[in-house]
Amino acid sequence: MSERTYGRSTVVTDDGTALSLFETGRRDAPLTVVFVHGHCLAKESWFDVRDQLRQAWGDEVRMVFYDHRGHGSSATADASTYTIEQLGRDLGAVVRALVPTGRYVVIGHSMGGMTAMSYARQHLGELGSRLVGVGLIASAANGIAEEGLGACLAHPVVSMFRTAVRRAPSVMAASKRLSRGICAPIVRAAGCGSRRVSPRVVALASAMLNDTSVVTMAGFLGSLHEFDESENLPALAVVPTLVLCGSDDLMTPIRHSRVIADFLPAARMVTVEKAGHMVILERAGEVADAVATLVAQADPASRHDGARRVLEVAL
């Protein structure tokens, strides 16, 4: 009988940073799906999507979730390593440890999507052979500071904030604690779409934001501002790719997803109407359906009909 996995573990990266993981499914499953979360979030941001997919897949598809360095239950690291390039290497450490052989799909939300792009460039030899599918959700290949709330990254105040955190992290951390009361309204206004959102979604997103240290929050801002993987995107043309975004996303407006889709004409573009940047929490059922469709495309030999079953569960 195949051994089922359902629990927490740790993977150590190339520079010794311990990353917290959660996995579920058969250890010998023919396909593993690795989920990568966004800036100031945690692996729990995927758990509503996970629950939908587990009802559809059971243990036939292994799912892996982990916290970025400095996020969630993972260890902190030197702030100089808080770059998307390093996150790509961290994803590599997770794949080496959890999926040393066999096929896998990577699904990234926001900065997690950027991590997936960085990782794909770093592992071009696995595209189409082991890495057989990529999902880019509410993400961008470049120009995140050109419009929407991402334009704030180019504001001088952000540079001042980053400098202040480097010089006096404890003082800035105290300031963040005092400001926690305003996090929920910010998440509701900036992270959610125009449709009514459950208070639980706002509370969960706000809790993850509150639990993220100010050093982590500030540390990745420079890398987000400078991020540009547009020249390398065409390499993903050899694997099934999902590009998904909420129509009301203010963090990474839908234009960014359309640009990615333009680079990848064969990609499946999904627009979730009236959803915002936190689409994976707002509309978990629709995201799960899109992910299941991608996995069915990436793994046509699989015996499960995940997309149909996810729709049945959501309905």
Please say if the pLDDT value at position 179 is more than 50. no
What is the predicted pLDDT for the residue at 202? Answer: 73
Whole-prediction pTM: 0.86
Residue 213's pLDDT band (boundaries 50, 70, 90)? Answer: confident
Q: Which residues span the domain enclosing 156?
A: 4-314
pLDDT digits (tens, 9 = 90+) for 103-152: 999 999 999 999 999 999 999 999 999 999 999 999 999 998 776 655 65
Tell me what percent of the residues of the chain surpass a pLDDT of 90.
Answer: 64
Model pLDDT for residues 8-41, shown as the tens digit of each residue: 999 999 999 999 999 999 989 999 999 999 998 9
pLDDT for residue 225: 87
Q: Going by C-beta distance under 8 Å and a sequence separation of 6 or more, which residues neighbour residue 40?
A: 71, 208, 209, 212, 216, 217
pLDDT at res. 145: 72
Cβ pair 150, 252 in contact under 8 A: yes
pLDDT at residue 228, as a whole number: 97
How confident is the model over 239-281, as pLDDT tens digits?
999 999 999 998 899 999 999 999 998 999 999 999 999 999 9
Terminal alpha carbon distance of the chain: 33
Q: How many domains does the chain have?
A: 1
Question: For residue 53, what pLDDT is reported?
Answer: 97
Which residue in 249, 214, 228, 256 sits closest to 40, CA to CA? Answer: 214
For residue 65, the model assigns a pLDDT of 98
Residue 157's pLDDT is 47
Res. 219 pLDDT band, cuts 50 70 90: confident
Beta strand 103-109 with 241-246 is: unpaired
**Which CATH number covers residue 174?**
3.40.50.1820
Residue 121 amino acid letter: R
Residue 164, pLDDT > 80, answer: no
Residue 183 pLDDT exceeds 70: no
What is the structure's pLDDT at 302? 54
